[in-house]
Structure 1
Amino acid sequence: MTRGDGVKVCEICGARFRGDPAACPLDGGTLVPVPDPLVGRTLAGRYVIEERIGVGGMATVYRAKHEVVGRDVAIKFLSPDLAYEPTNKTRFLREAKAANRINHEHIIDITDFGETDDGLVYLVMEHLDGVPLGEEIRRGALPLARTMQIVYQVSRALARAHELDVVHRDIKPDNIFLLRGYDGDFVKLLDFGLAHMKGELRVTATGTVFGTPEYMSPEQARGAPITPAADLYSLGVVFFEMLTGQLPFSGSTTDLILKHLREPARAPSFHQRHVPADIDALVLRLLEKSAEDRPPSAHALAEELKAWLERHRDSKAPPVEAPPAPRRVSKTTERDHPSVTELVTRWLDRVEVFRGLVPRAHPDGPPSWLLAALAALDAEVKRLARLRDQLVDRITVVTTQEDEAREARMRIGRALDALGYDLARVERELAGLDGRLAEARARAQQVGEPLLRAWRKVPRYATGAPLEPDVVAALAEAGALARIRLEAERAQEDLEKDRGRLEAERDDLTFQIEQLKGRFGGMSAVREVDLDEVKRETSDVDKQLQARLDAVVKEAEPIVRHFMAFPRLRDIVRGAHGGVSSSAG
């Protein structure tokens, strides 16, 4: 990261300073640039950045501590080279908006996002402890039961996303994370950076292809409009890879795209003979070239996978809740990276230390300038404390509102899940009923002509005339055919009634889903406006506090320099620094 430069650290006391002081104002030590100016920085008044944990082509990820709730979070910063381009910024922040819109236990929770004064664009998300699925696959094919549990959890995550009109567009093993913490896998779906949300303005040229070629659906490869079915195809590729340890197609990027477009995939059992026929069939349905031939929805897929897991009860059920975030032992201590509010507390303590040093340095009475400087420093630090209290209040409000909004989205999301699964059931029943209705109509048609022919065989006869055997036979044949016709017509009538009932249920469920989605959208918009206002207030207080911290360092500089001139007091002065004396924010 190149932005946020200008932070230096004292080689003696470890204090950090912004700007360009010639030496440490606290002990005169040499100031050197810090290796990573973001480490130790407090972001948005509440995230203390502790260490860098990952670097990629587009972003750098840091572990930080949320000052209010005390838990670890991950902060992803868009590369400054890319942040200058508005389109890159839009795509990057799309991840936050998409994940925030969904809120599901199997989708990474992105809690905050924004841009710093010095142009750093960031996302704040839950800190995950585990491994990407890709790392597991590189060791070889996964057992069938484990594969089914993982795919089931991903399908549930996609069902929620699709219900809220979000298509991921980049399903692949490295975007499927397996948490540590239990006897079984708990899945988190990552990286909604390529996600598309219904109603969103296009930020790329029509026909631009996004995604990973190995996992790209045929419609993505063509640059055609993307629907939820594209995610199901990509999940089918991952499913295949988990079962076999290899991809269904290989080759150059061009070869891969052509194969996704034209070449039918082989069944997984071609590579792994233990894969059962029903799983072969499911994977191949997911890999159908035409979106219409794939499972109708992620809800329907999840129901199918759930039914399989229930039939194979020896397969351990997937966990339903994520484990608590682990407490990590940082390579650095909390003393190394205090938060802004901790710095204020330290300055309050430091003023008292300085007051205690006055009689030791000047037993015959201090110079007037020192008393005036201490009084000015004390007043400045008390102003700091008032700002700190305001900041803590604002941060608490922000955190509470975020938690309330997340819980409200979760509640509506669960209700949408229930309705979505009901809708998938109704649509499955309708599909089965349509098949039976077609069979009944076919039966009625099949006997129509034979019934007329049989009826023509029955001769006219006078009342009271004896029934000849051939007449009886003709009547029997016509009667049997008539019975088949009547039964088929009655079946049609009953099935039409059932169809009407199911269609009404489908329409009602669709209406309820749309109503909930409308309520969800309205609630999210209102909460977002309210939250943005509180965040702005928090940011303003944080900026004031950062500026005051810098001012306090300058106020303290002559006082510290004065006391450091007394050799017997130097260790006390350095001990009062607590290792860090500037906000470096």
Structure 2
Amino acid sequence: MGAIPFGREGARVLVCTICGAKWRGEPTVCPLDGGSLDTLPDPLIGRTIAGRYVITERVGAGGMGTVYKARHEIVGRDVAIKFLAPDLAGDKTNRERFLREAKAANRIDHEHIIDITDYGETRDGLAYLVMEFLIGQPLSRLIERGPLAAHRAVDIARQMASALARAHELDVIHRDIKPDNVYVIDRGTGMDFVKLLDFGLAKMKGEMRLTASGAVFGTPEYMAPEQARGRPLTGKADLYALGCVLHEMLTGHPPFDGATPDLILRHIREVPAAVSSIVEGLPTELDALVLRLLEKDPERRHADAHHLSEELRQVAQLLPRPSAFPPSTQQRVAEAMSATLRTIDDRPTWTSAAERWEEKVLRFRQLANRAHGGRTPAWLESAFVELEGWLRELQLRRAELDRSASMVMQQEEEIRNVRLQIGKAIDVLVSDESRAIRELEEIDTAIRDLAETHAARDRELRAAWQQLPPMPAANVALDPRAVAMLHRAGEAATRWSAVDGRFRELHGQKAQREGSRNDLRFQVAQLKERLASLNAEGETDLASLREKTMSLDVAVQDLMDKIAVRSEEIVKHLLEFEELRDAVRAAGA
């Protein structure tokens, strides 16, 4: 049978050298077959989190914690679980900062931001995040092999900008955009698919301050000047970091390097080299785009991530692009996906595992009758009855746990789908608003440029008007000089009218654009209010369901402890009969 984790959270994990089953607690032999037990070096392997995630292997570690691969028992898919590092978990501020990643990602819910489906703390104080399990590689690993082709770098940057546009509109600033936090997935389509990771440093509007005033967080190689100075940040700090990443994708290295103090000063003071001075053949438009992202003054960067995304699309049209990856790559992806699906199908479910347990207990009964000539001792019969009763109760408890966990998952999915719909609607509206704002800026610039001309034409017309003589009487001949003056005044009036007409036209356009912008902002505000209500109400409902699921999980774990202890007693007794040892081990296999 497949390995089933038994025993208390936090206990060491033991693995049977014969059948491979994993156990918790203090068994001295395998409760299934009496095999010897080895201690697994990582106590989290085999552990069940929140009643549904069975940890299968360690994937990697970062500054704030360790990531594991786990199996979602209910839906039968792999997930990733990140645990806060034990040396940080004792501090409440660290736990809150760690869990903010889930809150930030859930607030955004975008296709290019990693999907965090669950989070919480275990009974023994482990803070965790449950995320989609990604098959790919960090952007930093791609760059290690050398600069990316321009079309590929621009496409990755565009997807990053799309994710940041949603995040910024929902008042979330990432604050740590860098290649390590950009995951690139090959879906076998010939296109990279990007996921932004690690919102652990994200700043969300309205949250309580979790860091000391003036504290600087981020990675120096990608830190905006205002971030390095410890000043209040806007989304334009993320755009600067994206510019650093784009520069690195195109050239193989970030715009500045050096020891941290010097590096920060270079970000603040030094103008970066144009990417075209390092890589030949890049269009001037791409040069200008990167340099604009790396402007020291945030106001000189792109208006917002939507604006950047539009410019990246325009630049992408200027770049040569291969039609797809080589067929061999697509074939490898297809084979990998097929192998993954086969692995998923081959894994035992809880129901099948429980049925096998019942079969084993029945076989142990038969062996006990054989050992005692049909006269099973009272204590052994009592142990069997107790074990069978616990297994029946475990089936019921586990079914209840599965139903509760399924309700959590269903509600999470429903909330996520609504969030996605609202988010996409916000994207469309904010993109239109961004365009309207930029058009307003262009109109304001045109009005300012025309204002001086308008004032000059006004002065010219007034001067010509003042020089006009009074209108002569009907019986008085017209003076040619007066007529010439009148003609000049008419020409001045024509010039004034042309400028004034354009002036009024621009003001009319401005009023129209302001109306459109205000209407779009109103619609966005309504959608954001709806999203906030959805998140608040959903979190309240989910908290109750999760608490119920956790309680059921505790009950299941308690039953598992009892079953493991009683089964071990029975197996040890049966192993005392030398003629039964092979049969006992065969029954437990």
Question: Under a length normalisation based on structure 2, what TM-score does the superposition of the two structures give?
Answer: 0.90
Paired residues of 1:128 and 1:325 also in contact (CA < 8 A): no
Match of 2:549 in 1: 538
1:120 and 2:126 aligned:
yes
Partner of 1:577: 588
SS in 1 for 2:242: helix
Classify 1:224/1:240 alpha carbon distance in 2 versus 1 (closer, same or farther; 3 Å). same
**2: distance between equivalents of 1:269 and 1:258?**
24
Find the partner of 1:66 among 67, 72, 80.
72
Partner of residue 301, structure 1: 308
Contact 1:42 1:340 in 2 (8 A): no
Q: Aligned ranges for residues 66-105 of structure 1 at < 5 Å? A: 66-105=72-111
Distance 1:356-1:476 versus aligned 2 partners, 3 A rule: farther
Give the CA deviation at 1:200: 0.7
* Corresponding letter in the other structure for 2:296: K
Q: Give yes or no for contact 1:131–1:177 (8 Å, CA) kept in 2.
A: yes
| Partner AA of 1:408 in structure 2 | V
Equivalent of residue 417 in structure 1, options 420, 427, 430 = 427
For 1:562, the equivalent position in structure 2 comes to: 573
1:582 is aligned to none
> What displacement does 1:458 show?
5.0
Asked if the contact 1:169/1:211 (under 8 Å) is kept, the reply is yes
- Cα distance in 2 between the residues matched to 1:402 and 1:28: 42
Q: Aligned ranges for residues 16-27 of structure 1 at < 5 Å? A: 16-27=22-33
Query: What runs of 5+ residues in structure 1 fail to find an aligned partner?
Result: 579-585
TM-aligned CA distance change 1:334 to 1:277, over 3 Å: closer
CA offsets, 1:81-132, max 9 Å, x none? 1111112111111111111111100000111111112222211111111111
Deviation (angstroms), 1:226: 1.3
Q: Is this contact kept in 2: 1:10–1:16, CA < 8 A?
A: yes
- Per the TM alignment, residue 141 of structure 1 is displaced from its structure 2 partner at its CA by 2.1
Alignment counterpart, residue 383 of structure 1, candidates 376, 393, 396? 393
Cα drift, residue 221 of structure 1: 0.5
How many angstroms apart in 2 are the aligned matches of 1:97 and 1:472? 78
Deviation at 1:459, TM superposition (A): 5.1
Deviation at 1:574, TM superposition (A): 2.2
Say if 1:185 and 1:290 are closer, same or farther in 2 by CA, change over 3 A: same
> Which residue is equivalent to 2:446?
436
Structure 1 residues 475 and 326 mapped into 2: Cα distance closer, same or farther (>3 Å)? Answer: farther
Equivalent position of 1:280 in the other structure: 287
Deviation of 1:139 after TM superposition, in Å, equals: 2.2
Alignment counterpart, residue 515 of structure 2, candidates 491, 504, 513: 504
The 5 Å alignment of 1:38-53 reads 38-53=44-59
The aligned residue for residue 37 of structure 1 is 43
Mark the CA change 1:343 to 1:80 in structure 2 (over 3 Å): closer, same or farther. farther
1:334, 1:359 → 2: CA distance?
A: 39
**CA offsets, 1:412-435, max 9 Å, x none?**
111110111110111122112222
SS in 2 for 1:246: coil
Q: Assess, with a 3 A threshold, how the Cα gap between structure 1 residues 452 and 95 changes in structure 2: closer, same or farther.
A: same
Q: CA deviation at 1:568?
A: 4.3
Q: Which residue of 1 aligns with 2:214?
A: 207
Which amino acid in the other structure matches residue 36 of structure 1?
D
How far, CA to CA, are the matches of 1:241 and 1:468 in structure 2? 77
**Aligned equivalents of 1:405, 1:336: Cα separation in 2:** 31
**1:554 aligned partner, one-letter code:** V
Which of residues 425, 447, 466 in structure 1 aligns to 2:457? Answer: 447
**Post-superposition CA distance 1:300-337 (Å, at most 9, x none):** 2112222333566857699xxxx99965969xx89999
Asked whether the 8 Å contact 1:441–1:489 carries over to 2, the reply is no
Is the Cα contact below 8 Å between 1:95 and 1:194 reproduced in 2? yes
Secondary structure in structure 1 of the residue aligned to 2:215: coil
In percent, how many aligned pairs have the same letter?
49
Tell me, yes or no, if the aligned pair for 2:16 and 2:22 is still in contact at 8 Å.
Answer: yes
Q: CA deviation at 1:50?
A: 1.1
Question: 1:413 & 1:315 partners in 2: Cα distance?
Answer: 32
Q: Whole-Å Cα distance in 2 between the matches of residues 526 and 139 of structure 1?
A: 47
- Aligned residue among 145, 149, 166 for 1:143: 149
Q: Report the alpha carbon displacement of residue 549 of structure 1 after superposing the two structures with TM.
A: 0.9
**Compared CA separation, residues 275 and 170, structure 1 to 2 (3 A):** same
Q: Verify: 1:224 aligned to 2:224, yes or no.
A: no
Letter in 1 for 2:447: L
SS of 2:80 mapped into structure 1: strand
- Residue 242 of structure 1 and its aligned partner are, at CA, apart by 1.7
Paired residues of 1:50 and 1:337 also in contact (CA < 8 A): no
Cα distance in 2 for partners of 1:134, 1:158 equals 19
Cα distance, 1:381 vs structure 2:
1.0
C-alpha separation in 2, matches of 1:324 and 1:511: 46
- Following TM superposition, by how much is the alpha carbon of 1:42 offset from its aligned partner in structure 2, in angstroms? 1.6
Deviation at 1:212, TM superposition (A): 0.4
Shift of 1:28: 4.3
* Partner SS state of residue 191, structure 1: coil
How far the C-alpha of 1:404 sits from its partner, in A, is 0.8
Identify if the C-alpha distance between structure 1 residues 156 and 8 changes in structure 2 by more than 3 Å, giving closer, same or farther: same
Q: Which amino acid aligns with 2:251?
A: T
Report deviation, 1:527: 0.7
Given that residues 341 and 388 in structure 1 are in contact (C-alpha distance below 8 angstroms), is that contact kept between their aligned partners in structure 2?
no
**Which residues in structure 2 correspond to 1:135-174 (within 5 Å)?**
135-174=141-180
Question: 191-200 or 436-445, which moves further after superposition?
Answer: 436-445
Aligned residues: 570
| Greater Cα offset, 17-26 or 188-197 | 17-26
Deviation at 1:8, TM superposition (A): 2.5
Contact 2:172/2:205 (8 A) holds in 1: yes
CA, structure 1 residues 364+176, in 2 after alignment: closer, same or farther (shift >3 Å)? closer
Cα 1:549–1:325 shift into 2, 3 Å? farther
Q: Which residues of 2 match residues 226-305 of structure 1 at below 5 A?
A: 226-305=233-312
- Residues of 1 paired with 2:313 and 2:358: CA distance? 59
The correspondence for 1:110, drawn from 110, 116, 121, is 116
| Equivalent residue, structure 2, for 1:514 | 525
Cα distance in 2 for partners of 1:27, 1:136 equals 48
- What is the alpha-carbon distance in structure 2 between the residues aligned to residue 301 and residue 464 of structure 1? 71
Shift of the 143–14 alpha-carbon distance from structure 1 to 2, 3 Å rule, reads closer
Q: Which residue of 1 aligns with 2:329?
A: none
2:143 is the alignment partner of 1:132: no
- The 10-residue stretch of structure 1 (46-55 or 185-194) with the greater mean CA deviation from structure 2: 46-55
Q: Deviations over 1:271-310 (max 9, x none)?
A: 2232222222221111111111111111121122223335
Q: Note if contact 2:34-2:571 (Cα within 8 Å) is conserved in structure 1.
A: no
2:516 counterpart letter in structure 1: E
Distance 2:521 2:261 in 1: 41
The amino acid across from 1:348 in the alignment is: E
